[in-house]
Amino acid sequence: MCGIIGYTGVRPAAPLLLEGLGRLAYRGYDSAGIAVLADGGRIVRCRAEGKLARLLEKCQGGAEIPGTAGIGHTRWATHGAPLEHNAHPHLDGGGRVAVVHNGIIENWRELRRELAGEGYTFSSETDTEVIVHLLARAVAAGRTPAEALRDTVGRLRGTYALGVIFACEPEVLYGVRRESPLLVGRGDGEMFLASDIPAILPYTRLVWEPPTDTIVRLTPRGVTLPFPGDAPAFREVTWDAAAAERGGYASFMEKEIHEIPQVVAHTATEGEALLPPSLAGNVTGVTFIGCGSAYHVGLAGAYFGEKLTGVPVRVFVASEFRYHPVPLAPRELVVAVSQSGETADTLAALREAKRRGAYVLSVVNVVGSTIARESDRVFYTQAGPEIAVATTKAFCAQLVAVYRLFAEIATAKRGRAVGAEVLSGLAKVPDAVRRVLDGREGIRRMAHRIAQAESAFFIGRGADYPACLEGSLKLKEISYLHAEAYPAGELKHGTISLVTAGVPVIALATQSALVGKTLSGVEEVHARGAEVYLITDETLTADAPTAARFVLPHIHEMLMPLPAAVAFELLALEVAAERELDPDMPRNLAKSVTVE
Ligand code: M6R
């Protein structure tokens, strides 16, 4: 997620902004930059792609940039590749205005067309640059900077947090936000703007978050509101810097789980179609490739997709696909799923699929990553950077993207109503996830007992099975508790020999036609002394002997792996907490597996 810092005061701004950017780096970024109001009404800008070290080198630590007010930004690409010319701050051609922006401007295309039609030239592919030109146009037309900002935000649709400086107003900093976070910090003879508290915590603990759409004007002497609004109410931050980075949560994993409602709402509605309609109607089969959780996304998609579209779906672990020459049918779609977009096995499988002439769609979180670049088409999940090694919000976003993909194929093949039903089902997911999060105490109680065990089993049938695979992977990954997932009917073919008194069996039963079958499996393990934890849908009657139950909110049956996955993520998190383990950095694991 992008980060913003702004400063006006008495200290040299550039080194301070660069330091602040360093404290925003934990959020993930792929380029960065600063712009400072220098003497003589000039704006001096310095940007670099890649790590902050490159920016520091490029602007020599800021020592040579004069000026005591400016803005800085760490960018995590959404529109336009992570290259220097797309990095913020963006500047208008005349060097009168500089802008940093977090969020997404939804109507940027139409604004860009309008401005280009008037002769404005663009030097980036970002949505942000339209803001710069709108501001410059308004100032050129005689508006004051504050009026220009008010007029400009009136034209924007979407979400944003903006930091703006104008060459004509030395030592002044403007900020405004809609939905995206932006804070004002008050120091002694200096003021700050930041998207996150950690950026300014060494300088001040007094912060205020302006209400949405309130324009703030900062000078070293304080904050004023150029237009009527609520008086600033500063509060004191009591967190330490590390807790502040995590937004007050105990771990990044916990924070990222709590971002899921927002993330899935976004992935369900934003971005372009996954496939051009002409292609969606012609797909003869779908083959998923991915690793770990991304592989589970394909499995869940297969249950859903085949039922919805009638198109055959296959799912391969990428490391197997790359050496296994499965025949690909003409017009078979290959879908590479990857959060990082850099997983070596998925990339190799993608190359192999392309070598064999397949059309490859990738579902990727990191913009500009290798898998994204090498695919015929890419859909960005836009879940924001995921810091914790165990994937949570990105997994859910991938799943939503895959549901959308099948809704598109179904629409093209079977008519609009079929796809529309999926989309209206997806609209209910954010609330369902919120309700799971609200029920955390029940999961904590389960975790307290499960954490004492040495191994656990997950069972489920149909679409519940891939959700169980994901639940078991999460548990293993961060709590080091040995866990296996099985289709509920499969346990009796061998593994039931491991089910003895006290072994936890976590049964997921959300599929109405299969709940009775899963409960038979529950009876079998219960008869051998297992402690059964049943996770089911609120609308299903599930009569079974259990140690504890957790009820999931009901949504479209095929979408139930989403709330189920969130319940399992919380379970893994709570078991890790019981075992006093750091969930963010599990042993032996890397966030991005770039070796075979
Ligand atoms: O970046 P990717 O989505 O390609 O990563 C794939 C797997 O390495 C990843 O999902 C892994 O299984 C996670 N650590 C699971 O939480």
> Which residue has the least CA distance to atom 16 on ligand 1?
390
Residue nearest to atom 6 of ligand 1 (CA): 291
Average pLDDT value for the chain = 92
Using a pLDDT cut of 70, give the percent of the chain over it: 99
Distances in Å between the Cα of 176 and the Cα atoms of 43, 215, 226, 461 are 20, 5, 12, 49
294 Cα–ligand 1 center, Å: 6
List, for residues 97-147, the tens digit of each pLDDT value: 999 999 889 899 999 999 999 999 999 999 999 999 999 999 999 999 999
Instruction: Please give the pLDDT value at position 596.
Output: 66
Residues with CB under 6 A from ligand 1: 291-294, 338-340, 343, 346, 389-391, 473, 477, 592-593
Give the residue whose CA is nearest to atom 11 of ligand 1. 292
Higher pLDDT, 270 or 309: 309
Identify which has the larger pLDDT, 5 or 366. Answer: 5
pLDDT (tens digit per residue) in 182-236: 999 999 999 999 998 888 988 999 999 899 999 999 999 999 999 988 889 998 8
Residue 180 β-bridge partners? none
Ligand 1 centroid, distance to 339 Cα (angstroms)? 7
- For residue 6, which amino acid is it? G
240 CB-contact burial (10 Å; exposed 0-12 / middle 13-18 / buried 19+):
exposed
SS (H, E, C) 138-155: HHHCCCCHHHHHHHHHHH
DSSP state of 584: T
The predicted model scores a pTM of: 0.78
Q: Residue 325 has what pLDDT?
A: 78
| Per-residue pLDDT tens digits for 332-353 | 999 999 999 989 899 999 999 9
- pLDDT computed for residue 163 by the predictor: 98
Pocket test residue of 256, 257, 293, 295 for ligand 1, highest count of atoms within 8 A of CB: 293
| Tally of CB atoms within 10 A around 40 | 8
Give the pLDDT score at 364: 95
Q: Helix 393-414 crosses helix 561-578 at what angle (to 10 degrees)?
A: 170
pLDDT (0 to 100) of residue 367: 80
Q: How far, in Å, is the centroid of ligand 1 from the Cα of 207?
A: 37
Residue 391 CA: nearest ligand 1 atom is 16
pLDDT tens sequence across 279-293? 999 999 999 999 999
| Higher-pLDDT residue of 316, 271 | 316
Between CA 331 and CA 359 the distance in angstroms is 8
Nearest in space to 555 (alpha carbons), one of 547, 546, 564: 564
Cα 138 to ligand 1 centre (Å): 47
Of the pLDDT bands very low, low, confident and very high (cuts 50, 70, 90), residue 80 is confident
Q: Over 80: is that where the pLDDT of 326 sits?
A: yes
Residue 585 CB coordination number (10 Å): 17
| Position in ligand 1 atom list of the atom nearest CA 340 | 1
How far is it, in rounded angstroms, from Cα 245 to Cα 450?
30
> How far is 508 from 356, CA to CA, in rounded Å?
39
Name the residue at shortest CA distance from atom 7 of ligand 1. Answer: 292
- Of ligand 1's atoms, which has the minimum distance to the CA of residue 395? 10
* Average pLDDT value for residue range 539-552: 88
Q: Which atom of ligand 1 is nearest to the CA of 390?
A: 16
**392 CA: nearest ligand 1 atom:** 16
Determine if the peptide bond prior to 89 is cis (ω within 30°): yes
Q: Are the beta carbons of 364 and 380 closer than 8 angstroms?
A: yes
The rounded percent of the chain whose pLDDT value lies above 90 is 73
Which of 593, 594, 595, 596 for a ligand 1 pocket mutation test, highest count of atoms within 8 Å of Cβ? Answer: 593
Q: Which atom of ligand 1 is nearest to the CA of 346?
A: 4
pLDDT digits (tens, 9 = 90+) for 58-77: 998 888 889 999 999 999 88
The confidence score (pLDDT) of residue 146 equals: 97
CA distance 12 to 28: 26
Integer Cα distance of 411 and 562 in angstroms:
22
425's tokens: 């089902």
* Per-residue confidence (pLDDT) for residue 277, from 0 to 100: 85
Catalytic site positions: 2, 591
Overall average pLDDT of the 407-414 stretch: 94
Q: Whose CA is nearest to atom 10 of ligand 1?
A: 293
340 Cα: distance to centroid of ligand 1 (angstroms): 8
Query: Which residues, in sequence order, are bridge partners of residue 377?
Result: 361
* Whether the Cβ atoms of residue 68 and residue 171 lie closer than 8 Å to each other: yes
Q: Which atom of ligand 1 is nearest to the CA of 389?
A: 14
CA 390 to chain CA centroid, Å, is 13
CA–CA separation, 149 and 106 (whole Å): 18
Ligand 1, atom 4, lies closest to the CA of: 338
Contact by Cβ (8 Å): 483, 571: no
- In degrees and rounded to multiples of 5, residue 394 shows phi and psi of -70, -35
Per DSSP, 230 falls in state P
- Residue of higher predicted confidence among 324 and 570: 570
Say if residues 481 and 452 touch (Cβ distance below 8 Å).
no
Residues β-bridged to residue 328: none
**Which residue is closest in CA terms to ligand 1's atom 12?**
292
The angle subtended at Cα 337 by Cα 358 and Cα 356, nearest 5°, is: 15
Distance of alpha carbon 56 from alpha carbon 340, whole angstroms: 26
Give the list of residues 6+ apart from residue 494 with CB closer than 8 angstroms, or none. none
Confidence of residue 1 (pLDDT cuts 50, 70, 90): low
Ligand 1: centre distance to CA 467 (Å): 15
CA of 101 to the centre of ligand 1 (A): 29
pLDDT digits (tens, 9 = 90+) for 150-184: 999 999 998 899 999 999 999 999 999 997 889 99
CA of 389 to the centre of ligand 1 (A): 8
Is pLDDT at 89 greater than 80 in this prediction? yes
Cα of 93 to ligand 1 centre, how many Å? 42
